[in-house]
């Protein structure tokens, strides 16, 4: 299988690909510049940082697989892939722990504002989780020991037993926005969720609340965040545009450069698991390998 690996992968996953496929590797920057050089490619292995939409797919007429070693899929044109019969190999939830731990790190750091004493405590605060999937649930689980109230909103109904175990109450979006002292976003980016957190949402959030986004920059209407900036006691973002980075000005601002999924165990899992699944598919179809 002629396989093109773009960007950095965990060394164990790369070794497996090297041993089992005809592998070429290139950086993300080179991929953008030289896609037309490898029309024979049958499989692409990539992470969220590599955009592969219709334009890029046009360079690969023989493509049969995209192996995504990330959780968010907004870098891919899933409809176009389906139309072209390109199979997606993707293992959800592989980096959830890393992102949930990063969210807790951001939450505690925001509450311990550098210059303010006494600082805020999580105890008795209301934490609002928007998007109660793999990461949202793990954030709730990690908050269990902090004696705070956890409320959440999701478009999908949740099992009562899970909610009880995680000591979480599901609420409407407006309720989460207006009740939470800390809001954290864990929703995938797609055509329905772009600008999900818009001007109306920011207007409903509590004065002097804390706001965290570790999902995708495009979930926020950044213009509105700039407008409501001073309403917050603290803002932490793991994902943001260059414009927001240069224009957002807040005494209690934490920006991390898309680090949420970079925990070592999670990085290994999110690379190895999809690669292992890819190989298992190839091994079950020997004519493909
Ligand atoms: P998941 O699919 O397990 O959970 C997402 C949840 O969001 C689902 O329960 C879904 O029903 C819910 N949802 C969808 N649309 C919604 C809406 N309009 N309002 C409320 N809820 C909605 O995904 P996950 O593993 O929890 O990851 C969530 C997102 O986090 C990913 O899609 C990705 O964009 C982002 N992420 C970021 C990093 C990072 O490095 N910062 C790493 C991994 C994932």
C-alpha 214 – ligand 1 centre gap (Å): 10
Domains defined along the chain, listed by start: 2-92+264-288 (3.40.50.720), 96-255 (3.40.50.720)
Output the CA 186–ligand 1 centroid distance in Å.
Answer: 4
Q: What are the residues facing 43 on neighbouring strands?
A: 3, 65
Q: How far does the centroid of ligand 1 lie from the alpha carbon of residue 72, in Å?
A: 7
Both tokens of 154, joined, read 């999701």
* pLDDT single digits (tens) 47-93: 999 999 999 999 999 999 999 999 889 999 999 999 999 999 999 99
- The answer to whether the pTM exceeds 0.75 is yes
pLDDT at 194 over 80: yes
d(CA 137, CA 131): 9
Site to probe by mutation for ligand 1, drawn from 186, 254, 258, 261 as the one with most ligand atoms within 8 Å of Cβ, is 186
Residue 267 has pLDDT above 70, yes or no: yes
Query: Residues 166-176: pLDDT tens digits?
Result: 999 999 999 99
Q: Does position 207 have pLDDT exceeding 90, yes or no?
A: yes
> For residue 249, what pLDDT is reported?
93
Mutation probe of ligand 1 site: the residue of 95, 133, 166, 236 with most atoms within 8 A of C-beta: 133
- Is the sign of the CA dihedral 150, 153, 156, 160 positive or negative? positive
- What pLDDT is attached to residue 184? 98
Using the mean position of ligand 1's atoms as its centre, give its distance from the Cα of residue 118 in Å.
34
From CA 105, how far away is CA 70, in angstroms rounded?
21
pLDDT tier for residue 163 given thresholds of 50, 70 and 90: very high
The predicted structure's pLDDT at residue 35: 67
The most distant pair of C-alpha atoms in the chain lies apart, rounded to whole Å, by: 66
**Ligand 1 atom nearest residue 96's Cα:** 25
On the question of pLDDT at 126 being above 90, the answer is: yes
Q: What is the residue-wise DSSP string for 22-80?
A: EEEEE-HHHHHHHGGG-TT--EEEE-TTS-B-HHHHTT-TT--EEEE-SS--TTB-HHH
pLDDT at 117: 85
pLDDT at 34 over 80: no
User: How many angstroms separate the alpha carbon of residue 37 from the centre of ligand 1?
Assistant: 35
- Centre of ligand 1 to C-alpha 135, Å, is 7
- Contact between 176 and 186 under an 8 Å Cβ cutoff? The reply is no
Q: How many whole angstroms from 187 Cα to the centroid of ligand 1? A: 3
Cα(206)–Cα(155) distance, integer angstroms = 22
Helices and strands (DSSP H and E) totals, the chain: 12, 12
DSSP state of 250: -
For the segment 210-239, what is each residue's pLDDT rounded down to a tens digit? 999 999 999 999 999 999 999 999 999 999
Average pLDDT score, the chain: 95
Pocket test for ligand 1, best of 78, 105, 162, 187 (most atoms within 8 A of CB): 187
Q: How far is CA 113 from CA 104, 210, 225, 240, in A?
A: 15, 11, 20, 21
Average pLDDT over residues 244-271: 94
246: exposed, middle or buried (Cβ count in 10 Å: 0-12, 13-18, 19+): exposed
Ligand 1 pocket residues where CB is under 6 Å = 71-72, 92-93, 95-96, 99, 130-136, 153-156, 186-189, 193, 196, 214-216, 238-239, 258, 260-261
**Strand duo 182-185 + 210-213: pairing:** parallel
């Amino acid at each position: 299988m002629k396989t093109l690996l773009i960007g950095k992968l965990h060394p164990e996953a790369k070794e497996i690909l090297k041993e089992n496929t005809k592998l070429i590797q290139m950086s993300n920057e080179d991929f953008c510049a030289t896609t037309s050089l490898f029309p024979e490619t049958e499989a692409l292995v990539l992470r969220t940082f590599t955009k592969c939409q219709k334009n890029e797919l046009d360079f690969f007429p023989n493509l049969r697989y995209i192996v995504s070693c990330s959780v968010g899929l907004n870098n891919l044109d899933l409809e176009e892939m389906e139309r072209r019969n390109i199979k997606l190999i993707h293992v959800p939830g592989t980096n959830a722990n890393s992102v949930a731990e990063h969210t807790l790190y951001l939450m505690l750091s925001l509450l311990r504002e550098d210059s303010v004493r006494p600082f805020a405590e999580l105890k008795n605060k209301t934490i609002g989780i928007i998007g109660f999937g793999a990461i949202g649930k793990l954030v709730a689980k990690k908050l269990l020991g902090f004696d705070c109230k956890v409320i959440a909103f999701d478009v999908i109904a949740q099992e009562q037993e899970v909610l009880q175990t995680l000591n979480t109450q599901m609420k409407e979006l407006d309720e989460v926005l207006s009740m939470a002292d800390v809001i954290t976003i864990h929703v995938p980016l797609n055509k329905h969720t772009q600008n999900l957190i818009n001007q109306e949402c920011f207007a409903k959030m509590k004065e002097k609340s804390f706001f965290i986004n570790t999902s995708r920059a495009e979930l926020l209407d950044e213009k509105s965040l700039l407008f409501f900036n001073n309403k917050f006691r603290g803002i932490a973002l793991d994902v943001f545009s260059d414009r927001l980075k240069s224009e957002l000005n807040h005494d209690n601002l934490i920006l991390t450069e898309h680090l949420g999924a970079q925990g070592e165990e999670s990085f290994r899992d999110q690379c190895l698991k999809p690669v292992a699944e890819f190989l298992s598919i190839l091994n079950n179809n020997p004519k493909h390998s």
